[in-house]
Chains A and B, each alone.
Chain A
């Protein structure tokens, strides 16, 4: 019970939000808008799964918004040049993994702090993209939207892809050696090393995986609209980190479940729609999100203090 205290608390908060919406604003649950909203949250979920793994291994990556934008434009340009959708998807994920590998080399093998490394790569990719695209809106060929299928089918594919990813990653973190390596590295890198795990290789792999997931997230986003903007990834890093932290992933590494991340994601993502449905002005969104993050870390701080004493 107490082991999953955080996940249960967030689930309760989400349940409370949904229940009050069901009572006071039942049109929130109209099927089509509800599904559309859920679909639009899936790219951020994919990114949040990646960032959760990064945080569990006791690192951070704030460059994922820039990676996401870069991957989206690379996929868009590839598709617009007439290549098939599969190639575009492959290009996005490959580009993401390559950008993640750069972060990984600097953090894992040169021992640099991930916050500064990813700060530098964030600025670099973001400005490179601006220089390349000059803020132009990129029109996508017709076959891209919803994978060239109907909207309901496309939405079903996006949602099921994200959930397959979530279930697979959650299972892997518990049952695969690689998942345990990530937990071990984040709990105590030196102990992991003495146990025969190379924390450097693990950290490097986590960053590559994060980049690949940022690429996948970009694809899940790309198929939802007829155009793509170079700044589509702005603020994604904060959304993803907030979802992970609120969902109970400890920023000090080693602890967290991906189910918690899902709950945190849904809770934060529904702040804005809930404000709208309760007829409240939407510009409180960022302040509320910041407050929720702070509440989550303060709760962590107080709990760890109690357990120490």
Chain B
């Protein structure tokens, strides 16, 4: 009796990405009907211009979560790299692109610190990156004495955050390059397969001869480096480097990854899923700011768009988690039933 139902659930599970595409289309339809100037070229390019940083963090977070880990420190790392970048350009007169390179390398160094603590000392990623979350943000605040900020960057550098290149926001091209590189790494190399193997069963991966500590470290180092890059792009967009750059971004990045169907237990998920999760969030964020005719809590939707999109993001994440867990429980129950009926010839048991 359950064969048709289980088939539809199975195919739904197999196509997490299809569901996300439908969600995105639904969002577009909704905001186009309710809002003003949503599907307009300029607004669409804004959608992506304003969320490239979170997209970068989300794409780089994917390998980390695939290995069964988590990195809570990337938002704080952005703050620290932004401050260092600002100091290098503003105080020491380094050319912005050299300073940007140093910021990326510094991000990799911070990721390396996470990696050493996690893989060499066998400490849980959650608590290590919670510690560095506090440490990196604290260093950024200490370096700026809690108040200083750096601005006055050259125009040629600010173009990275505000100009268009070949009809698209300039920073989108950087994002494309990083996303393509990480997609290649995760889906086309043995390294990428090893991430999933480690997340699925790290002890099993070790017995299979995978250098678990080295490969896991690489995931954290890349996450740190990409956080440094995201910091540079954020500074280019805002024209200002402050210690509070990227506060809360780690949560948005993790939300995009989990929404994209990457298992938080590690072992399964795709970069394409993460990208779709990120697009769904970015459209939600922007679309709400386009709705001015409807009111909520006596306020036009557009003026409370930030809070509302945050609330909806949280609820969406909860729903995605609950649905995912229920599906998994159903699948396990079904698999158990099947294996029971196959292996036990005694009909009384099955």
User: How far, in Å, is B133 (CB) from chain A's closest CB?
Assistant: 7
Specify which chain B residues have a CB less than 8 angstroms from the CB of A22 in the assembled complex.
none
Evaluate whether A283 and B142 lie within 8 angstroms (CB atoms) in the complex, with A116-B321, A297-B128 already known. Answer: yes
Q: Please report the C-alpha to C-alpha distance between residue A131 and residue B138 in the assembled complex, in whole angstroms.
A: 29
Interface residues on A, range: 35 or more
> Which residues of chain A are within 8 angstroms of B134 by Cβ–Cβ distance?
238, 242, 286-287, 289-290, 293
CB atoms of B318 and A286 under 8 A apart: no
By the criterion CB–CB under 8 Å, are A127 and B307 in contact? yes
Q: How far is the CB of B216 from chain A (nearest CB, A)?
A: 15
- Whether A283 pairs with B145 at a CB distance below 8 angstroms is yes
Question: Does the CB pair B121–A305 fall under 8 Å?
Answer: yes
In the complex with contacts A131-B308, A300-B123, A120-B317 CB distance below 8 A = yes
CB distance from A128 to the nearest CB of B (A): 5
**Least distance between B246 CB and chain A CB atoms (Å):** 15
B71: min CB distance to chain A, Å: 12
A287 adjacent to B138 (CB under 8 Å): yes
What's the least CB distance linking A308 to chain B, in Å?
A: 9
Is the CB–CB distance between A283 and B322 below 8 Å? no
Which label, helix, strand, loop or mixed, suits the secondary structure of the B interface?
helix
Min CB gap B244→A, angstroms: 12
- Neighbouring B residues of A131 by C-beta, 8 Å: 296-297, 304, 307-308, 311
Whether B141 is near chain A, meaning CB under 8 Å from some CB there, is yes
Per-residue interface assignment for chain A, residues 250 to 271, with 1 indicating a CB less than 8 Å from any chain B CB and 0 otherwise: 0110000000000000000000
Please count the residue pairs between chain A and chain B whose beta carbons lie under 8 angstroms apart in the complex: 148
Q: Is A281 an interface residue (CB 8 A)?
A: yes
Interface assignment of A83: CB less than 8 Å from any CB of chain B: no
A-facing residues in B93-147 (Cβ within 8 Å): 117, 121-124, 126-128, 130-139, 141-142, 144-146
In the complex, A102 Cα to B170 Cα: how many Å? 43
- Is A119 engaged at the interface, CB distance under 8 Å to the other chain? yes
Q: A120-B321, A252-B124 given as contacts; is B326 within 8 A of A127 (CB)? A: no
Q: From residue A247, how far is it (CB to closest CB) to chain B in Å? A: 14
Q: Is B45 an interface residue (CB 8 A)?
A: no
Q: How far is the CA of A300 from the CA of B128 in the complex (A)?
A: 12
Query: Known interface pairs A119-B254, A284-B142. Does A106 touch B318 (Cβ–Cβ under 8 Å)?
Result: yes
Given A106-B321, A110-B326, A116-B264, do A298 and B123 touch, yes or no (CB 8 Å)?
yes
Which residues of B sit under 8 angstroms from A193, Cβ to Cβ?
Answer: none
Docked-complex contact B142 and A287, CB < 8 angstroms: yes
A189 on the interface (CB 8 Å rule)?
no
Which of A119, A125, A251, A293 makes the CB contact (< 8 A) with B124? A251
Return chain A residues, CB-CB under 8 Å to B137: 286, 290
B251 at the interface (CB under 8 A from A): yes
Question: Which of B131, B297, B329 counts the most A-chain CB atoms under 10 A from its CB?
Answer: B131
Given contacts A245-B127, A281-B146, A293-B134, 6 further A-B contacts (CB under 8 A): A110-B322, A120-B314, A122-B314, A131-B304, A283-B146, A289-B134
> Can you list 30 contacts pairing A with B, beta carbon distance less than 8 Å?
A106-B321, A113-B264, A113-B265, A116-B321, A119-B255, A122-B251, A123-B314, A124-B311, A126-B310, A127-B313, A131-B296, A131-B297, A131-B311, A132-B297, A241-B130, A245-B127, A251-B127, A284-B142, A287-B138, A288-B138, A290-B133, A290-B136, A290-B138, A291-B135, A293-B127, A293-B130, A294-B128, A294-B131, A301-B117, A302-B121
